[in-house]
């Protein structure tokens, strides 16, 4: 049994209390790593972001009690979503950065998704990377994927 729609919902339609509603806003399926990456990058589009995160449907999240993100002199951020508690000394462009991420001096992060607690060392170059929680990338490393094949670095990895 692999299909939610067929093997669970349709098979149990008589015993389940299923209700529907019409949604005419943004919706997307995620069936692969590539699609996860593409859908994540779509959040950088203000129209899509505004459609998903509007006043009518507020999203509550557990607060980590982190301070504001700090972009040091020499650091930069362009067209990115950056959560609280980050320290940016390098450059971050077209990326999604979760809470508590550190981007070292001279590092260049572009078109990436960096999960909570990741540490990107000095002088690192990263493009088209999905870094799971607590990934550590040592100084001077280069990790390059592509839009059609983003590279995934698994949780707690040291590169």
pLDDT tens-digit map of 12-58: 888 988 888 888 888 888 999 999 999 999 999 999 988 888 787 77
Q: Which two tokens stand for residue 104?
A: 């070292």
Q: Which residues of the chain have pLDDT under 70?
A: 1, 63
Q: What is the pLDDT of residue 41?
A: 96
Q: What is the pLDDT of residue 121?
A: 97
Could you tell me the sign of the dihedral formed by the alpha carbons of 136, 110, 84, 130, in that order? Answer: negative
Q: Which two tokens stand for residue 112?
A: 């990436």
Q: What is the pLDDT of residue 20?
A: 83
110 touches 126 (CB < 8 A): yes
51 touches 26 (CB < 8 A): yes
* pTM of this structure: 0.83
The DSSP output letter for 56 is: G
Burial 42-61 (b: 16+ CB within 10 A, else e): eeeeeebeeeeeeeeeeeee
Strands (E), the chain: 70-71, 76-78, 81-82, 87-88, 91-93, 96-97, 102-103, 108-110, 113-114, 119-120, 125-127, 129-131, 136-137, 142-144, 151-153
């Amino acid at each position: 049994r692999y299909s939610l729609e067929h093997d669970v919902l349709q098979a149990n339609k008589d015993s389940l209390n299923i209700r529907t509603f019409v949604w005419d806003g943004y919706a997307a399926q995620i069936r692969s790593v590539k699609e996860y990456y593409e859908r994540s990058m779509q959040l950088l589009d203000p129209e899509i972001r505004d459609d998903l995160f509007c006043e009518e449907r507020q999203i509550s999240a557990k607060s980590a009690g982190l301070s504001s993100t700090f972009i040091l002199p020499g650091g930069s951020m362009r067209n990115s979503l950056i959560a609280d508690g980050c320290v940016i000394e390098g450059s971050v462009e077209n990326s999604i950065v979760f809470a508590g991420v550190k981007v070292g001096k001279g590092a260049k992060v572009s078109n990436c998704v960096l999960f909570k607690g990741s540490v990107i060392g000095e002088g690192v170059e990263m493009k088209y990377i999905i870094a799971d929680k607590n990934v550590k990338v040592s100084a001077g490393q280069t990790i390059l994927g592509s839009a059609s094949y983003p590279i995934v670095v698994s949780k707690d990895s040291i590169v």
